[in-house]
């Protein structure tokens, strides 16, 4: 894919664990919408995944499944660059160079390192610490203008911008300075059982917290019927009603309604009927996605071919940037 007049978006998603409803609403669904307006580079970031120990065969399988899910969700891998991060060596090359321009103090302040260190105390590795540098390399390698992020990822964008500006000040105009593209509705879907916490695919302790894109309809409905609500009986979006507010956010994202429209629709409804309606909206939204996902997985020849082709397209897109960076720091051709 060559340069276009459209702004370029980059984003990545890890293949460790199946995407959740939160990933779908906050990332995948919006990526599909953004792909109609922007030039898009979307990465299955399998290199990021190995900061936590992975089963190799499982990681390979989940990476292919993630690729198929992105395509099933409406991100056309023939029109946009959708690829595996590990297939483009320039990510690791640029991460090393940027790591030499990133300060220890900056990395030690990253909240994600603190969170992951607490969850994986037996494996606090250097990759976990330098993870934000690789993320910066992912973005800057493709000269991205915009990076769709949730509120919890803003710190990574700020670090990316700081490192890019530092590098540009030293060596000239090498990198585009990216902007975070914050999605207003559905950017942060919370746990169904603990609505004060973000829904996370790494939350394996309580399966009721998380809705997976590949959950069968009956399991989805069961999880929503058991979802935590709040005191009172009114369906209202408010700070003192985190459970109901989360369900309203999900319903709005699934149906295309605004929060006020959803509130009006459920005025006078009991929580039981409200939770069932939210569950049904998720089941209906996921049905065509699941069918297309299963069709793509059954066509392994197509998947293998398009994954190989997109690895080449991503490498070609990254090549001018990594070449300029190497020249800038003094590496010989």
Which CATH architecture does the domain made up of 8-183+300-329 adopt?
3-Layer(aba) Sandwich (3.40)
Residue 3's pLDDT band (boundaries 50, 70, 90)?
A: very low
Query: What burial class does residue 290 get, using C-beta atoms within 10 Å of its C-beta: 0-12 exposed, 13-18 middle, 19+ buried?
Result: middle
Pairing of β 179-182 and β 8-13:
unpaired
Q: Percentage of residues in the chain with pLDDT exceeding 90?
A: 68
Q: Which of 29, 62, 198, 223 is catalytic?
A: 198
Provide φ and ψ at 218, rounded to 5°: -65, -35
Contact assessment for residue 116 and residue 128, using Cβ atoms and an 8 Å cutoff: yes
**pLDDT given at position 18:** 78
**pLDDT given at position 204:** 60
Residue 128's pLDDT band (boundaries 50, 70, 90)?
A: confident
Identify which has the larger pLDDT, 37 or 220: 220
Strand-pair partners of 90: none
Domain extent listing, the chain: 8-183+300-329, 207-293
Stretch (H or E) spanning 137? helix 126-141
**pLDDT given at position 29:** 81
Active site residue 222: no
CATH number of 207-293, picked from 3.40.50.300, 1.10.240.10, 3.40.190.10, 1.10.230.10:
1.10.240.10
pLDDT one-digit tens code per residue, 203-241: 766 788 899 988 999 999 999 999 999 888 889 999 899
Active site residue 6: no
User: Residues with Cβ < 8 Å from 95, sequence gap 6 or more?
Assistant: 130, 133, 134, 136, 137
Virtual CA dihedral for 64, 147, 260, 268, nearest 10 degrees? 30
Residues 126-136, mean pLDDT to the nearest whole number? 93
- Find the helix packing angle between 90-99 and 300-329, rounded to 10°: 30
Contact assessment for residue 200 and residue 210, using Cβ atoms and an 8 Å cutoff: yes
Identify which has the larger pLDDT, 317 or 5: 317
Q: Which of 29, 62, 116, 275 is catalytic?
A: 116
**pLDDT given at position 2:** 42
Residues 19-32, mean pLDDT to the nearest whole number? 84
**pLDDT given at position 1:** 36
**pLDDT given at position 35:** 86
Contact assessment for residue 238 and residue 248, using Cβ atoms and an 8 Å cutoff: no
pTM: 0.85
Q: Which of 79, 154, 197, 201 is catalytic?
A: 201
User: Residues with Cβ < 8 Å from 7, sequence gap 6 or more?
Assistant: 38, 39, 145, 146
3-state secondary structure 119-134: HCCCCCCHHHHHHHHH
Identify which has the larger pLDDT, 196 or 3: 196
Active site residue 326: no
**pLDDT given at position 273:** 94
pLDDT one-digit tens code per residue, 288-301: 999 999 999 999 99
3-state secondary structure 181-196: EECCCCCCCECCCCCC
Domains 8-183+300-329 and 207-293 share a fold: no
Mean pLDDT of the chain: 90
DSSP string, 144-205: -SEEEE-GGGHHHHHHHHHHHHHHHHHHSS-S---EEEE-SSSS-PBPSS-TTSB--TT--S
């Amino acid at each position: 894919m060559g340069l276009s007049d459209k702004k370029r978006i980059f984003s990545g998603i890890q293949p460790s664990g199946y995407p959740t409803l939160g990933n779908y609403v906050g990332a995948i669904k919006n990526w599909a919408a953004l792909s109609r307006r922007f030039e898009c580079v979307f990465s299955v970031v399998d290199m990021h995944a190995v900061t936590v120990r992975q089963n190799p065969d499982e990681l390979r399988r989940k990476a292919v499944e993630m690729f198929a899910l992105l395509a099933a969700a409406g991100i056309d891998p023939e029109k946009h660059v959708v690829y595996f991060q590990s297939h483009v060596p320039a990510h690791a090359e640029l991460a090393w160079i940027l790591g030499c321009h990133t300060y220890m103090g900056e990395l030690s302040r990253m909240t994600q390192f603190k969170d992951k260190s607490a969850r994986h105390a037996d494996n606090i590795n250097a990759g976990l610490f330098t993870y934000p540098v690789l993320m910066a390399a992912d973005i800057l390698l493709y000269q991205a203008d915009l990076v769709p992020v949730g509120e919890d990822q803003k710190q990574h964008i700020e670090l990316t911008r700081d490192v890019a500006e530092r590098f540009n000040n030293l060596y000239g105009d090498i990198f585009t300075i990216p902007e975070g593209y914050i999605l207003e509705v559905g950017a942060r879907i919370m746990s169904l059982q603990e609505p004060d916490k973000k829904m996370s695919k790494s939350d394996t302790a309580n399966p009721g917290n998380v809705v997976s894109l590949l959950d069968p309809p009956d399991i989805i409905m069961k999880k929503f019927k058991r979802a935590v609500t709040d005191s009172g009986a009114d369906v209202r979006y408010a700070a003192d009603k985190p459970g109901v507010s989360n369900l309203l956010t999900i319903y709005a994202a699934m149906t295309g309604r605004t929060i006020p429209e959803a509130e009006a629709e459920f005025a006078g409804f009991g929580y039981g009927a409200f939770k069932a309606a939210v569950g049904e909206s998720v089941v209906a939204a996921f049905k065509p996605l699941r069918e297309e996902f299963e069709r793509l997985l059954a066509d392994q020849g197509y998947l293998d071919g398009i994954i190989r082709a997109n690895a080449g397209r991503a490498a070609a897109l990254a090549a001018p940037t990594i070449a300029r960076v190497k020249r800038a720091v003094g590496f010989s051709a």
